[in-house]
Amino acid sequence: MAYSQQLIDHYENPRNVGSLEKTDGTVGTGLVGAPACGDVMKLQIKVGVDGRIEDAKFKTFGCGSAIASSSLATEWVKGKTLDEAEQIKNTEIAQHLSLPPVKIHCSILAEDAIKAAIKDYRDKQQVADGKAAE
Amino acid sequence: MMIGGEHKAIPRAALAECWSCKGPVSVQAIFCHTCGAAQPPRQIDHFARLGFEPGFDLDIDLLEKRYLGFQRSVHPDRFANKSARDRAMAEQQSVSLNEAFETLNDPLRRASYLLQLKGQTASVAKDQTVDDPALLMEAMEAREALAEAESVEAIEKLAIKAGADAINLLSEISKAFAADDLAAANRLTTRLKYLRKFLEETRARRVALESF
């Protein structure tokens, strides 16, 4: 089957490739992998003072669908609050890119990467709050 | 993605009925010992199919020898003058033998299959994400190093290290299975998958560099 235009576009012109400073307190890093393919995906978010995601970057070593899924995920999370970003479902990513059934797990990977990045950011904030309270 | 079939370990001494002479025949038998008719491949695990006890450590030379011998015994040339049913049985046997051999001959597929036989789903056979931060970190760093390697020598160096790691991993997987530590065996198998993938990528990158 032919891949969708959206998928090819995100694969050929991936958005937001790169890294943010992992040790920055306002940056959350999600690192996930799909054991069935040996893929690895890193998605990072930078949260602004207003609580919205002001920047997002990704680095994915995997197939075209995994790259497109994470590229789309970084586009979608930008400007969202953490609660909103958490609501992004893999099915929406899969639908937008018209992923074939065998590539659905790539969109699951992207959803998990967003969640992992948010969790990492929140964990950091908790540690920071704990220190501030002392 | 499932690796291998949906086989469960079943008693190896079990008997079935020969379709031709109706006599009892071992579930492992390719031919009926009474009438000589080729038997359908029965629901036995891949190890039993090739006459091994389930285990990660396998004599690969013996595996291949048995596989080739069994395949010869069901070769179509031998069934040219037999009935259509005999021919069909032999063909089915050939397909099952092939699947068993392909699964057991590759350490990664063998480990995944063995986990399945022991009632575990191997992570490498699931559509799930890995929950092993150390492994992912290592995989990410390795892939980044590969992406930055600009010469064939640099890639070769990474490939040699990964190849050695993969060999060491096999003995670790073997130990985990020997100790019946399935969680460890599963984790190590996932690691092997990542190393394999990395090795594939080193080859692809080498080809890309050399074609300039």
* Partner-chain contact B197 A105, CB within 8 Å: no
* Partner-chain contact B140 A109, CB within 8 Å: no
Which residues of chain B are within 8 Å of residue A91 when distances are taken between CB atoms? none
- The 10s digit of each residue's pLDDT in B162-173 is 999 999 999 999
What rounded mean pLDDT belongs to chain B?
A: 91
In a domain, A132, yes or no: no
- The 10s digit of each residue's pLDDT in B28-52 is 999 999 999 999 999 999 999 999 9
Which residues of chain A are within 8 Å of residue B135 when distances are taken between CB atoms? 33
Contact (CB, 8 A) for B188 and B172: yes
In a domain, A129, yes or no: no
In a domain, A130, yes or no: no
Q: What is the pLDDT of residue B12?
A: 62
Angle between helices B107-117 and B182-210 (to 10 degrees): 150
CA angle B96, B101, B103 (to 5 degrees): 95
In a domain, A39, yes or no: yes
Residue B114 CA to residue B186 CA, distance in Å, equals 10
End-to-end CA distance of chain B: give it in Å, rounded.
36
CA angle A103, A29, B157 (to 5 degrees): 75
- The 10s digit of each residue's pLDDT in A49-94 is 999 999 999 999 988 999 999 999 999 999 999 999 999 999 999 9
Chain A: residue whose CA lies nearest to B129: A34
Whole-angstrom CA distances from A116 to A29, B88, B176 are: 7, 53, 30
Q: What is the pLDDT of residue B212?
A: 65
- The DSSP code for B77 is G
Three-class SS string for chain A?
Answer: CCCCHHHHHHHHCCCCECCCCCCCCCEEEEEEEECCCCEEEEEEEEECCCCEEEEEEEEEECCHHHHHHHHHHHHHHCCCEHHHHHCCCHHHHHHHHCCCHHHHHHHHHHHHHHHHHHHHHHHHHHHHHHHHHC
Contact (CB, 8 A) for B178 and B200: no
- The 10s digit of each residue's pLDDT in B172-208 is 999 999 999 999 999 999 999 999 999 999 999 999 8
For residue B3, what pLDDT band results from cuts at 50, 70 and 90? very low
Q: Annotated catalytic residue: which of A97, A106, A109, A116? A: A106
* Partner-chain contact A104 B127, CB within 8 Å: yes
In a domain, A133, yes or no: no
b/e B94-131 (16+ beta carbons within 10 angstroms → b): bebbebbbebbeebbbbbbbbbbeeeeebbbbbebbbe
In a domain, A43, yes or no: yes
Which residues of chain A are within 8 Å of residue B125 when distances are taken between CB atoms? 36
Which residues of chain B are within 8 Å of residue A34 when distances are taken between CB atoms? 127-130
* Partner-chain contact B136 A104, CB within 8 Å: no
In a domain, A134, yes or no: no
What rounded mean pLDDT belongs to chain A?
A: 93
CATH number of the domain within which A62 lies: 3.90.1010.10
Distance in Å, alpha carbon of B140 to nearest chain A alpha carbon: 6
Radius of gyration from C-alpha coordinates of chain B: 21
Distance in Å, alpha carbon of B52 to nearest chain A alpha carbon: 27
Interface of A with B in 112-131 (CB under 8 A): 112
Which residues of chain B are within 8 Å of residue A112 when distances are taken between CB atoms? 129
Q: What is the pLDDT of residue B196?
A: 95
Q: Which of B127, B189, B190 to probe the A interface (max A CBs under 10 A)? A: B127
Phi, psi (degrees; rounded to nearest 5) at B78: -75, -10
Q: Could you give the number of structural domains in chain A?
A: 1
Tokens of B100: 């068993």
Which residues of chain A are within 8 Å of residue B165 when distances are taken between CB atoms? none
Is A63 marked active-site? no
Residue A76 CA to residue A93 CA, distance in Å, equals 9
Q: Residue A126: is its pLDDT beyond 80? A: yes
- The 10s digit of each residue's pLDDT in B113-133 is 999 999 988 888 877 778 788
Distance in Å, alpha carbon of A112 to nearest chain B alpha carbon: 8
* Partner-chain contact A33 B124, CB within 8 Å: no
For residue B144, what pLDDT band results from cuts at 50, 70 and 90? very high
- Domain range holding A22? 5-124
Check: complex ipTM more than 0.90:
no
Contact (CB, 8 A) for A6 and A77: no
* Partner-chain contact B197 A39, CB within 8 Å: yes
In a domain, A56, yes or no: yes
Average pLDDT over residues A102-118: 94
Residue B78 CA to residue B146 CA, distance in Å, equals 51
Q: Residue B6: is its pLDDT beyond 50? A: no
Q: What is the pLDDT of residue A1?
A: 57
* Partner-chain contact B139 A40, CB within 8 Å: yes
- The 10s digit of each residue's pLDDT in B88-118 is 999 999 999 999 999 999 999 999 999 999 9
Q: How far is CA A7 from the centre of its chain?
A: 16
Q: Annotated catalytic residue: which of A37, A40, A104, A108? A: A37
Domains parsed from chain B with CATH numbers: 12-105 (1.10.287.110), 133-209 (1.20.1280.20)
Where are any strands of DSSP class E within chain B?
Answer: 15-17, 24-26
